[in-house]
Structure 1
Amino acid sequence: MRRLEILDGMRGYFLVFMLLNHLAFAGGYLLVKVNHAELGFVQDAQGFVFLSGLLVGMVHARRMERKGFGDAAGKIWKRAGELYLYAMGCLALVLAAASLEPALLAYWQPWLGDLTPADGAMVGAAASLAYQPTYMDILPQYIVYLLAAPPLVWLCVHGRWASVAIGSAVLWLAVQLGVHLPVAEGVNAVLGTAGEGVRLRAAFNVLAWQIVFMGGLILGVLTATKRVEWQRVFTPERTGLVRLAVALLVFFLVWRVGFSFGLWPEAMAERFQAYEVRPEFSLVFLANFVALGWAVAWLLIAGPRSADARIRRAADLVGRPFQLPFLRLIGRHSLQVYAFHVPLAYAVMALDSHYGPFGETTKTLIAVTGVALLALPALAREADWRSLPGAGAPARADK
């Protein structure tokens, strides 16, 4: 399988589990527990953001080398504009539905917060991306990263990737130490002048989570410009770092199981949770993500060349899901599929609130149907519309 195909499969994998995690049923449901996040602290959003950065680096580094900064920057910034339209489309669809059926506001209040169709100030804050309803938060941060990406890609293309990496690490560390808090207070003070309750609302601190996207972007540029050869970095003989990665994953697995069954004393739990702040992508999440990323990359690249049959089987087992045509299909159109999943999750919450609570079988059927529906925007983008009477040329899947 080609490299981009397996990356599409990975993005599709993360999209499926994001949807499963975002479906809200009264009392929860069992299918969501069949999830890698139950075994540690690596979640789907992290992989999705990283792969997005990786592909930006891979695709636009080559374009920047061939056609210059202006052409690549124009493509990236155009993409940011398209994503803003997707974000506004999700927002408009949810608010329009709430305007037509007021009961939906009550169902969605935990996700919308103080946002209502009648509150112009709050709608304006949401349109500015300052106030982000639940699940409408990945696209805004991705827009910010795309706006910043062109000069960073240029620096990496011209050999200054270490400066980009250092800047990203310092920015992440600044968030961990709270340097951003006075800035957030100032922004909230300004937003508050627009109306009561208007404030910043986001599930992801864009200044902390950038380390995931920028890490992917740097590796993507290094790959595209052939400054790194992954077959040499990951070899069957070099097992020291992968052993360390597995040890870290086992260590955090023990913590995860302990939290699931309430095994840790309160003092220990409080100490651990100080480093487990998801919105700020704190140390626990960063360490887990790097460890799992290294282990999976080693298995996929070095594993098939290993003399140990057990490692070859493990590599095949890990890589097989990413070869599924369904996952590759939705992964090729990941951002459109992500935008589609937002109103889908809101629809399921309304369905459960109005007609539920459902039994476990019904919840599972709804969830599986939701996953299948993720193919709709991907199929629509790949459809050959020329077969329809009076239709023009089909939209290209890579645009």
Structure 2
Amino acid sequence: MNHSRDHRIDFYRGLALIFILWDHIPQNPLGLLTLRNFGFSDAAEIFVFLAGYAAVLAYGKIALRSGYLIATARILRRAWVLYVVHIFLMVLLMGIIFVANNHVETRDMIQEMNLNYFLINPQQALVDELLLRFKPNLMDPLPLYIVLLAGLPLLLPLLIRHTAHAVALSVGLYLLTNWYGWNIPAHDGGLWYFNPLAWQALFVLGGAAALQASRNTVVDSRPLTRQPLFIACASLVLISVPIALLWKWPTLHDLVVPHWISERLYPISKTNLAPARLLHFLALAYCTAKLIPRGPWVQHWLARNIGMMGRYSLEVFCLSVLLAPLADMANALADDALAMQLCTALLGVALMLAMAAWLDLNKRLDQQPAQVAPAVAKSGVA
């Protein structure tokens, strides 16, 4: 396997984190620029797909080098860390929401964040929180990732040795989930907003893409206009743009979009990762990989800084979860003035970048003693 780092992955993860922040701030004008406005999928698909890509690439390397038992131990340890982070993050988020709600009079932030259940039944809510059944709004991606990562040891050996078979099993579970409506119970008789039984397909496909990219496979050298798969994917992406834009004008949408398309397209469920969402994202990912190959562009200042956020995606995502309600509170106190909305959205990205830069600096400082020690020992300095 070729383990050379593809810096495009860090860049796309960082871009997804920016989109997630902007999408999570209500009435944010910069949210009009995110992926969800121009197609059937959004930043959540990017996040899960690249999470699978990075996980399989990292733990697959460990499995091949040290064995599946060591890889499993490392995966479960990581899942436990994520679980602890999730609990801690939820406590911080709830504290922010309760404080913000006392200062905002124009809307009920507790209701918007789905925290009424905690106020009505705090003891059961705490139990459900520990069991990942109670999740305020904005928190859903992290529990999904915990479950998907914890289940990775069951599939990793098959995924590495027989990738096609693993993908077939995953897609089969996805199809059965959508057909029979399977899901995991959540609090108060509800269901998971991100159904792990469906979203696992995107996670596994991300892992399969990582394995495919790491192997010396033959690349189609024909012009893109002569590659049928690219033409099909590009057509799907282009067709989805006007349909998604017309969602803002339902009357015009009904006039322009043929009825037979609407009947087969809707509803586009995010919970069960509707086929339209899955196919759109896969087509978009394929076109992006073809049109934007590896190159020096990832070393550009902007791309490099966005990629730095992607390298520390867990920490930056957690910060974005806390920044979104703070930005919402500031916007509400300013009567949702456009200048304040733009300021909070851009300031949030700046703070996320600052955290990534701080983490990157700490990592470099931690690595320096390990590099200096051999030189000191070789010089004979006590």
TM-score category of the 2 structures, normalised to the smaller one: 0.7 to 0.9
Counterpart of 2:346 in structure 1 is: 368
**CA separation of 1:235/1:9 partners in 2, compared to 1, >3 Å: closer, same or farther?**
farther
8 Å contact 1:114–1:122 — kept in the other structure? no
Decide which of 221, 234, 237 is 1:246's aligned counterpart.
234
**CA separation of 1:51/1:247 partners in 2, compared to 1, >3 Å: closer, same or farther?**
same
Q: Give the CA deviation at 1:92.
A: 0.9
Q: What is the rounded CA distance, in whole Å, between the counterparts of 2:195 and 2:94 in structure 1?
A: 25
**CA separation of 1:322/1:73 partners in 2, compared to 1, >3 Å: closer, same or farther?**
farther
Q: Does 1:148 align with 2:140?
A: no
Q: Does 1:218 align with 2:208?
A: yes
Residue ranges of structure 2 left out of the alignment (5+ in a row): 371-382
1:276-301 deviations in whole A, cap 9, x for unaligned?
Answer: 11111111101211111111111123
Decide which of 82, 103, 108 is 2:110's aligned counterpart.
108
| Partner amino acid, structure 2, of 1:291 | A
Q: What is the rounded CA distance, in whole Å, between the counterparts of 1:176 and 1:276 in structure 2?
A: 12
Decide which of 184, 192, 196 is 1:206's aligned counterpart.
196
Matches within 5 A, 1:82-93: 82-93=81-92
Counterpart of 1:308 in structure 2 is: none
The farther-off stretch of 57-66 and 373-382 is 373-382
Counterpart of 1:136 in structure 2 is: 139
Q: Give the CA deviation at 1:386.
A: 10
Q: Does 1:264 align with 2:242?
A: no
Q: Give the CA deviation at 1:116.
A: 2.7
Residue ranges of structure 1 left out of the alignment (5+ in a row): 192-197, 305-315
Q: How many residues align?
A: 358
The farther-off stretch of 293-302 and 210-219 is 293-302
Q: Give the CA deviation at 1:378.
A: 2.0
Q: Give the CA deviation at 1:140.
A: 0.4
| Partner amino acid, structure 2, of 1:296 | T
Q: Give the CA deviation at 1:365.
A: 0.9
Q: What is the rounded CA distance, in whole Å, between the counterparts of 1:330 and 1:386 in structure 2?
A: 15
Q: What is the rounded CA distance, in whole Å, between the counterparts of 1:121 and 1:165 in structure 2?
A: 38
Q: What is the rounded CA distance, in whole Å, between the counterparts of 2:29 and 2:97 in structure 1?
A: 29
Q: What is the rounded CA distance, in whole Å, between the counterparts of 2:75 and 2:369 in structure 1?
A: 18
8 Å contact 1:115–1:123 — kept in the other structure? no
Counterpart of 1:194 in structure 2 is: none
**CA separation of 1:369/1:334 partners in 2, compared to 1, >3 Å: closer, same or farther?**
same
Matches within 5 A, 1:63-78: 63-78=62-77
Counterpart of 1:280 in structure 2 is: 272
8 Å contact 2:14–2:306 — kept in the other structure? yes
Q: What is the rounded CA distance, in whole Å, between the counterparts of 1:76 and 1:221 in structure 2?
A: 17
| Partner amino acid, structure 2, of 1:271 | E
**CA separation of 1:268/1:377 partners in 2, compared to 1, >3 Å: closer, same or farther?**
same
Decide which of 171, 182, 205 is 1:169's aligned counterpart.
171
Q: What is the rounded CA distance, in whole Å, between the counterparts of 2:171 and 2:100 in structure 1?
A: 46
Q: What is the rounded CA distance, in whole Å, between the counterparts of 1:201 and 1:379 in structure 2?
A: 37
1:145-186 deviations in whole A, cap 9, x for unaligned?
Answer: 1111123121122x22222111111111112213416xx5xx
Matches within 5 A, 1:346-365: 346-353=325-332, 355-365=333-343
**CA separation of 1:253/1:395 partners in 2, compared to 1, >3 Å: closer, same or farther?**
farther
1:234-256 deviations in whole A, cap 9, x for unaligned?
Answer: 65465221111111112222322
Decide which of 317, 321, 339 is 1:342's aligned counterpart.
321
Counterpart of 1:124 in structure 2 is: 127
Q: Give the CA deviation at 1:350.
A: 2.7
Q: Give the CA deviation at 1:84.
A: 0.9
1:295-319 deviations in whole A, cap 9, x for unaligned?
Answer: 11111239x8xxxxxxxxxxx99x7
8 Å contact 1:112–1:134 — kept in the other structure? yes
8 Å contact 1:383–1:394 — kept in the other structure? no
8 Å contact 2:56–2:210 — kept in the other structure? yes
| Partner amino acid, structure 1, of 2:199 | W
Counterpart of 2:293 in structure 1 is: 301
**CA separation of 1:264/1:14 partners in 2, compared to 1, >3 Å: closer, same or farther?**
same
Decide which of 330, 348, 371 is 2:309's aligned counterpart.
330
Q: Give the CA deviation at 1:54.
A: 0.6
| Partner amino acid, structure 2, of 1:23 | I
| Partner amino acid, structure 1, of 2:356 | A
Q: What is the rounded CA distance, in whole Å, between the counterparts of 1:66 and 1:120 in structure 2?
A: 46
8 Å contact 1:29–1:363 — kept in the other structure? yes
1:44-93 deviations in whole A, cap 9, x for unaligned?
Answer: 11011101101111111111111001111111111111111111111111
The farther-off stretch of 342-351 and 138-147 is 342-351
Q: Give the CA deviation at 1:320.
A: 8.4
SS of 1:248 mapped into structure 2: helix
8 Å contact 2:233–2:284 — kept in the other structure? yes
Decide which of 219, 223, 235 is 1:232's aligned counterpart.
219
| Partner amino acid, structure 2, of 1:216 | G
Q: Give the CA deviation at 1:270.
A: 5.5
SS of 2:85 mapped into structure 1: helix
TM-score, normalised with respect to structure 2: 0.84
Query: Root-mean-square deviation (CA), in Å?
Result: 3.1
Q: Give the CA deviation at 1:37.
A: 2.5
Q: Give the CA deviation at 1:233.
A: 4.6
